[in-house]
């Protein structure tokens, strides 16, 4: 056979077929899984931040009241602001309970009930029952502020539960 005959028997060069897009290569599966995990992590983080917003807002307001008291040293103003703050936080944390109109001993009993202690009826919190109406109430401001901090910490689950889907202002 001559070279010309051999060349005639050759066929043209055929390129290989393109790879299919499915099934995906393992690297793509890893990238998809990492992307889904990242999305789930971001959603979890955002939901947690959203749920904590009521608790953080309540603490910021308590800190603002405390700072205002440190500047003014107004005992009656502190009690009025704390009383208002307790009422607002309670209305956000327990919207299904009829607490807007309760006063006096019933109000202190409610605060003790949600805290799980008797610090308002029998402890330093009893100042909220009568001293709010006196001109110069005498009390230990550090103990009252600490009581309010522990009270809001005790209702943190209720404030977090109200976080998703409910807009509020404390």
Domain ranges for the chain, please list them: 53-164
Residue that wins the pLDDT comparison between 39 and 134: 39
Is the pTM higher than 0.85? The answer reads: no
Report the percentage of the chain scoring pLDDT > 90.
49
The rounded mean pLDDT for the chain is: 88
Count the Cβ atoms, other than its own, within 10 Å of residue 136.
8
CA atoms of 150 and 50, how far apart (whole Å): 22
In this predicted structure, the answer to whether residue 146 has a pLDDT above a threshold of 90 is yes
The confidence band for 109, taking pLDDT boundaries of 50, 70 and 90, is: very high
The confidence band for 120, taking pLDDT boundaries of 50, 70 and 90, is: very high
CA atoms of 52 and 13, how far apart (whole Å): 67
In this predicted structure, the answer to whether residue 165 has a pLDDT above a threshold of 70 is no
In this predicted structure, the answer to whether residue 151 has a pLDDT above a threshold of 80 is yes
In this predicted structure, the answer to whether residue 133 has a pLDDT above a threshold of 80 is no
Whether 81 contacts 64, CB under 8 Å: no
The confidence band for 170, taking pLDDT boundaries of 50, 70 and 90, is: low
């Amino acid at each position: 056979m001559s070279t010309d005959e051999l060349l005639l028997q050759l066929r043209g060069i055929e390129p290989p077929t393109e790879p299919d897009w499915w099934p995906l290569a393992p690297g793509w599966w890893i990238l998809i899984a990492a992307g889904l995990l990242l999305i789930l992590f971001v959603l979890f983080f955002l939901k947690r931040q959203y749920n904590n917003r009521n608790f953080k807002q309540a603490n910021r307001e308590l800190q603002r009241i405390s700072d205002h008291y440190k500047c003014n040293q107004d005992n009656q103003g502190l009690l009025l602001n704390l009383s208002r703050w307790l009422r607002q936080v309670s209305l956000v944390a327990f919207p299904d309970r009829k607490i807007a109109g309760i006063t006096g001993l019933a109000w202190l009993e409610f605060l003790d009930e949600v805290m799980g202690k008797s610090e308002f009826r029998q402890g330093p919190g009893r100042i909220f029952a009568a001293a709010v109406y006196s001109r110069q109430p005498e009390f230990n401001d550090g103990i009252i502020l600490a009581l309010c901090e522990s009270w809001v910490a005790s209702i943190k689950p209720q404030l977090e539960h109200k976080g998703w889907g409910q807009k509020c202002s404390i």
